[in-house]
Structures are given as structure tokens and as C-alpha cells.
A and B are shown apart, each in its own frame.
Chain A
């Protein structure tokens, strides 16, 4: 299930391809089928685009009627919850490949939704650990005026507390509307950003929360003082980076590039991972029974290799996939969190996001 809206981005380079996400799923289906040849298993995929404001319930019912077991959802939080609740009665299992909302892993968690996308808390913690490791502890937090920006800012505030950083001040960049692209816009932006960031208390790094792509990419090189930018621009935390080539990732990047003639995005990787999770579980259990597959994915025996230097497993308290967070500057991967020294009694990956003792999730 693919989200409907068109995405506006400041940089042309960030314009998503029409097959963003589905391409990753297609490659994973091919990878699963290469393995499936040896196990007499085959996988198929079908993409369904939802019309604007359409009720996902209709599509979910159609899927269920046709015997579909697993659904990859590229949907905003509210639509995902609606789909999951309708699908639950029909035994459908959803892989959330897009929504980063923490509430989906906390108070609004669902027993039939596995979160492959990292949460905002995980992304913010991944960045926060690195900034703490660098001892860049004074953050100027700049957030957008849209709801997702506020949620992302909340995740950064939480990360600051967790890793001993201090938000020295917060500023809100109001979205006053207007086009992302104009013919002579740069002249104005240059002075606007300088003005917006001046007279701040002393800080080490400007942390931007701008999921709506209104201002963050304008920040680097334009701040009043010469400062580093991180968050929604500059050093960006994500589940995947088009430049990531460690731990064998180059092979996946090459396969993807040959198949689609473009670079692999985080959404592509999240979709790839979800399909591979199903493939891995079906292969291990030697069963196409959906309930068995789902139970195996949730079990302690499940582990997925996904080119991030360690196995990915599923948190049993909220069904979030444990995963390292990549920090990219738009050209290369600068670092990968968890950072050295952030210890945990069970898995260092649980230093990212909401850990078992903090969970508000009651799976049902």
C-alpha cells in the first residue's frame, strides 16, 4: 500500500522516484526467489496506490478476500492504524515501512504491525549519541511549524536528556506558505536564514526538525555564525544511505542500481528489509502458513542480515525492528550508531529508541 501525496522537497536531489519503496520490495522479492529456487518457494508482490484521502479499509478488505497474508504499508500513522485495525480481524500482518511516529510503537502500538522503519526516537538517539561522542553538547533546536516537525523536535529533546546534551534554545521556523522553487529565491534566503539564526546563545550544533522540508536544507552555510547543522539537514540520521557501502552493502547497492538505474533510498531499504523478513521466516520455518511465519519473526530465533554489521532482530515489547542508524552528510556515511561506549545489558541497539522499561505499548 503506497501513500498518495506528492512530496515537495527543497532540493531536486531529494525528489522521490515514482517507484520509491516499491523498487526495494521488488528487489527483495527477486532475492527471496533466488533463495526460493533451492527451497521450492516463490514470492510475489503487488503494489496498490491509494487515492488521496481514500479509506485504506476498502483495499485491506480486498487484500484479505484474495488471501493476502502480509502487507507492506507506506502510509501515514493514522491511515496505518485504520488499515491495521481492519486487517486484524482478517488475520493480516502489516509491515510499517514508512511511518516514524513514536506513538505507533508506544500507546498506539498494534499486535499485527511490525515496524521496519526506525522511529523518530531511534533516529534522534542515533544522531544524539554521535553528537555526545563528539562532545558537541550545546544544541540550538530549530523546528518547523507542522505537526511532524514538532514530533521530531520532541524526539531530539528526549535524546538531549538521554545523552547529556543541552538544548540551549528553541526556535520555530514558521511555514508561511509559498513555493519551494522560485527563479531568484536564493538572494532572499541567504539573508533570511542569517537573520533567523542570529543572537542565539552559545551553541555547538544547530539541530533542525523539519520533516516537511520547509527550511532545513537552507541552513548549512547560511547560519549567522559558522555552525554545523544536523537533523533534517547537514548530518542526517536514517536507516539507509545511497552512499552506504560497508558490510557488503555495496553488493545490494549494485544489484539495486542495475535493476532500477537509480540509487537506493531509506524507503527502498525499509521495503527490502520487510520483504526479506518474510522470506527469511518462510525459509526457516519451511512453511507458508502466515501465522507460523509471523510467530517466527517475533521469536528470539529470528535474525536478519541487512548490511549493517550486525543482525537485525525484533523487539518483543513493541514489534520494532532493532537496527543501527546511519548518519550521512548527503555524500557519504559519516558514522553509524550506536556509538562506542553506549552500553546496554541486552543489546546495544536498544540504546536507540524506547527501551523495554520505557515502553507504553501493550500489544493487542
Chain B
């Protein structure tokens, strides 16, 4: 009863804040794996305006669809914490399985799917009641999570099994498994649902998968002049809403690859900070922010000019990032 009351109050406060904010200013939340904090960045000033203490080993981080909360997986505490975006305080937890890492929200905003690295399952959580409502057996070390725009197909990648598992969200059954290169880390659908991209960190490729035929259509390969293939380890993938451009974070290669969404050819490599893993667009898609784990910073890419325009120091080992839509 008390909790529900609190929620109403905070959502009002958020509306007020949104009205007074300058146009084009968004808030980015960065999980710092080693510091056990989340850095809050004002995208107008490009600076950290607040640091929120969270649980142990924060990694996967995302806004809820209604923008009221930021969810952050704190793996070593075996839970997902809820940050209220109005107050920027941790207000509760969601019951994930052990060692949650990445998660994805259903388009309706009610269901959360969590990859639990440690026990080969995907946990299903009902967000409003904050309760576990099921789990799905997948391969060894589930990690990447993607969901089709219509919410019907959930994709989970398992790092040691080296597969993308296609799960029917209504029956919660694995309907197909597609082999990809070694240690798949991340899965992302194109906005129109026509393609699924899966990054293979150790294999060094991104597989473009046909989500209907469940077959690899093409493999994107990366080659940076003067660099050995080993440090080229693709992890995060972000595609523009029109599907024309994809960005792939290349880990210890310290570059982000810009990929043509139609031909799947790399058109440019952008030098960012060290060990770049995850990324997020501002809602207007003017900027793409990257988390650079080893250099403890966030790079800001200007999407139109494909240039790195800023660097923001955050906590130690920044891992994931999410940006508000308002």
C-alpha cells in the first residue's frame, strides 16, 4: 500500500522535471562494474551530475519502458535493483536468478527476461508484481538477450554453447537454436524485425541471422589496420531505428565499427576509450555513448559526422549504459 503511494508521487515529480528540462537534454546511466556505482550523466553538459551507490558488480542496465525506473543487474548480489529516475535512488529489487548479467524488457513493459549466467536459465519476471513467474532452460552461460519488436520472439545467446536460442514468448519454449562463432555476447534486432545481429566476442564476428529461417545470412568481419585479429572482440551492438547503420563495440581493440545496415560492410572504425563494451543512443539518435571499461570513461560519438566529440570520466570499469527517452 505504502509502496504504491510512493510510486504515484515519484511519477508526478518526474513530469514536473521533464517540463522544466531544457530541450535535448537527456540523462544517461552508466553501470560501473568495479566501483559498485551508477554514474548519472547530463547529456547537455556531458558531465556526471550524480553517482548512485548500488549493489555488488553492476553490469546490465536499462530503463523501463515507462521511463520511471532504471533497472541494474547487480550480479554478485544475485538481484536486479530498481533506481527511481525521479530521485535517482535505489527503491527496491526484482527477484532475478543467480548472477544476473543482461536482461531485456518485453515491448509491453510488463515482463522482464533475465539471463542468469550461472545456472543455464533465463528467468521471467513480472515487473508490476516484482515476482518470478517462470524460467527457461537454455545453453551454457546465457548472456545476450534480444527481443523482437513485436515481443513474440526472445533471443538468448549462450557463451559456451555458442548459440542464439530463439524462444517463443507465448509458449516459453526454445523453437530454434542457431550456431554462431565463439562466445556470443549480445543480440540485437533491427527495428523492423528483419534481422538479428549476434556478436561473438572470441570468434571476432557478428552474425546476421534471418529470424524467420533461423539461419545465418552473413557474417560481419572486422579488420583494423596494424592490429592483430585477437583483440578485435565484438560485444555491444546498436542499430539506428531506420536500420541503415549499425555500430559494433570491439572491446580491447578500442574501436567502434560503423556497419552499413544493408550491405553489412564496415564503413568506418572510430577510436574510442579502452575496452569498449556497451553503447546507447540518445533518443534523437544524434549521439552514441560508449562505455570504455579499462580507461574508466564514456566516449560520445556524433552519429551524423561519425566523429568522437567528447570523453566523460565515470567510475571504475564502466560496463553498461542506458539513456532516458525524455
Contacts and interface: CB of A to CB of B under 8 A. Distances in A.
A347 B228 contact: yes
Contact of A38 (B99, B117, B139, B201): B139
Interface string A39-55: 10000000000000000
Interface residues of A, number: 23
Contacts of A280: 162, 182
B202 A311 contact: yes
Contacts, number: 69
A310 to B, nearest CB: 5
Contacts of A290: none
A303 B181 CA distance: 8
Secondary structure call for the A interface: helix
Interface in A221-276: 248, 251-252, 254-255, 276
B202 A283 contact: no
Given A34-B139, A34-B140, A283-B162, A303 B202 contact: yes
A305 B177 contact: no
A303 B203 contact: yes
A254 B97 CA distance: 15
A108 B27 CA distance: 63
B278 interface: no
Contact of B140 (A31, A347, A349): A31
A280 B163 CA distance: 11
B97 to A, nearest CB: 13
Contacts of B204: 311
Nearest to B165: A38
A34 B120 contact: yes
Contacts of A284: 179
A61 interface: no
B118 A251 contact: yes
A35 interface: yes
A347 B231 CA distance: 11
A311 B117 contact: no
Contact of A304 (B140, B182, B231): B182
Among B117, B140, B177, B179, residue most surrounded by chain A Cβ atoms (within 10 Å): B140
B215 interface: no
A252 B140 CA distance: 10
Contacts of B160: 31, 35, 252, 276, 305
A204 interface: no
Nearest to A322: B230
B174 interface: yes
B140 A311 contact: no
A136 B202 CA distance: 33
Given A251-B118, A303-B181, A305-B183, A34 B202 contact: no
Interface in B191-217: 201-204
7 contacts: A38-B161, A38-B174, A248-B141, A283-B179, A303-B203, A310-B233, A311-B230
Interface of A: 31, 34-35, 38-39, 248, 251-252, 254-255, 276, 280, 283-284, 303-305, 310-311, 344, 347-349
